[in-house]
Amino acid sequence: MAQHPNRVAFNDGMTILLTSWPVLKSAVDEDWGGPESSAKRDWLIDTLVTYIGDRGNKTEPEDIEDVMLQILEDEFGVTIGDESVYALAKFIIRMYKECIAGNHTMVQNLKAEAEKKRDALPLLTAQPGPEDDASGSDSETESGSEDDDSEMDDSDEDSEEDSDDDQDEMKIE
């Protein structure tokens, strides 16, 4: 049986949100949960989607925060002492409520932001480094690297600003 479009949208939103969340992204990228870190991340996402789906509108941000903190500590050895998980949980609740009402705007915004970041990545990673230079000539790489670095610095500033905007939006709304 096919899933309801609202559930699919919520699942998509959760996947985008949590795979790009810096805490969980670092935990997976650095294998803090061992070699199966990405599977643990996916399990966390599925667990939260199911938990929220089962509890529906009875789910409170504190509930999500508790589940997330427990899984992060148990599976990745991550302890978070600030309010960032609570802020994320509030965002998740809002996204869930919008999705079940048939409003997928938050998910569409997350998708657009993820695509924008993905589109920017090749600019940062496609530049050949000295070890990738098959010609053996460092002169082109060195002469181009200053320009490349300044472009990367500008991109990094934009990414930080975008990240700050995302966090502000998550806290405010």
Encode 40-107 in three state secondary structure: HHHHHHHHHHHHHHHHHHHCCHHHHHHHHHHHHHHHHCCCCCCCHHHHHHHHHHHHHHHHHCCCCHHH
Residue 58's contacts (CB-CB under 8 Å, 6 or more residues apart) are none
User: CB count, 10 Å around CB of 66?
Assistant: 14
What residue spans define the domains of the chain?
5-120, 127-173
Residue 2: predicted pLDDT: 81
pLDDT > 90 in the chain, percent: 63
Residue 130: predicted pLDDT: 55
Distance CA 64, CA 70 (A): 10
Torsion on CA atoms 116, 98, 81, 29, rounded to nearest 10? -40
Q: Locate tokens 């997330």: which residue? A: 68
pLDDT tens track for 135-164: 444 444 444 444 444 444 444 444 444 444
| Cα separations in angstroms, 126 against 62, 78, 110, 131, 171 | 42, 32, 25, 13, 34
Residues of the chain with pLDDT under 70: 121-173
Q: pTM (2 decimals)? A: 0.68
Residue 118: predicted pLDDT: 82
Residue 78, both tokens? 């991550």
